[in-house]
Structure 1
């Protein structure tokens, strides 16, 4: 069964616009597909959702790449990081809901990205050709929400470094089939519900193509098996 990994980068849960839209999209994908897709949700702000990737894990990483033996503590830290990556790698498709924080992405999303973005795991490097993403033949949909910023707003009302950063990261790890949907229910937006309806309609439309590709990927897996 094709699997969707839903990465929730909001701590607001029932009060989260980005999470509400993500659930709308996932429901639309399930309704559009000829089969039921398995959905696994990773709530990044849940206690214990992510391991610490600090001094010990960094030393474990350098030990791997330099061919040195890891200490027991380093082995545990590296295996914990690998579990996070394995969850990422096992999915056929991704749904991300990302609220804007201080013109960028929430810190836990950056932590998750830094854990899974390891050489030999999600990307490779060649001295002649450079970097190459290894997460190929996967698709992603990212929902970006903001409370003040929206495209075209004067610069003194904020900037958007999060959307461009996240789109670049997806491309870096090889997820080139990515759709980005924005919802900006801002204090400067007089028609919040109207813009919500536009975002939901865009997500419903995107769900049809998303489900079709996911079903095709599942059929290909059956053939390969």
Structure 2
């Protein structure tokens, strides 16, 4: 059985094109794999703690900076609880619009919470970072208003898909598919672009 975790990165709900594409992909994937289990995280409704104070201090104890006390342990237990839900999944589907060349802040907050030493990555001074996940798959469903691969710099830069691919690789997820609806605004026929992206989503599913 495949456990799929869908992480919704857009706050626009039913109006989100990246979410619509992700839902189409998931529906088709469930048909293809009748044993698939799907859970969802709406980052805009999820109770995500601010990663500050005791949370940051708890993380630094793993690098030899300070010692774990009761307050830091309480914060770390919350981090572990959130992270274990992510680790338990086999397949990640992340829908994410481009915001100012990057990803929405709620997705970055979630990534900062779960990307912790001993949970998603290891580190050694002589070898650097190493991902602790293996055998996982990710499907990125990305959208942007005017940027697209190969676009002139005047239309923006990609700190969006490139960042997510880097992050997934850092934690050990290397089997990555990307479904693009880019651009969604600077095009003569946005519906045709959406339909093409949806077709790719169904083919990949």
Task: Verify same fold: TM over 0.5.
Answer: yes
Q: How does 1:27-176 map to 2 (within 5 A)?
A: 27-33=27-33, 35-46=34-45, 48=47, 50-66=48-64, 68-71=67-70, 73-176=71-174
Number of residues of Structure 1 aligned to a counterpart in Structure 2: 204
Q: Does 1:21 align with 2:12?
A: no
- For structure 1, the 5+ residue unaligned runs are 208-225
- For structure 2, the 5+ residue unaligned runs are none
- 2:184, 2:67 → 1: CA distance? 52
Q: CA deviation at 1:192?
A: 1.1
Moved over 4 A (4+): none
Task: Answer whether contact 2:59 2:117 (CA < 8 A) is retained.
Answer: no
Aligned CA RMSD, in angstroms, stands at: 1.5
**Is 114-123 or 185-194 further displaced after alignment?**
185-194
- 2:170, 2:182 → 1: CA distance? 26
Task: Answer whether contact 1:64 1:70 (CA < 8 A) is retained.
Answer: no
C-alpha spacing 1:26/1:150, structure 2 compared with 1 (3 Å)? same
Q: CA deviation at 1:193?
A: 1.3
- 1:64, 1:131 → 2: CA distance? 14
Greater helix fraction, Structure 1 or Structure 2:
1
- 1:59, 1:184 → 2: CA distance? 39
Task: Answer whether contact 1:53 1:81 (CA < 8 A) is retained.
Answer: no
Q: CA deviation at 1:185?
A: 4.7
- 2:150, 2:194 → 1: CA distance? 18
Q: Deviations over 1:22-66 (max 9, x none)?
A: 000000101112x23111101111152x11210121122234553
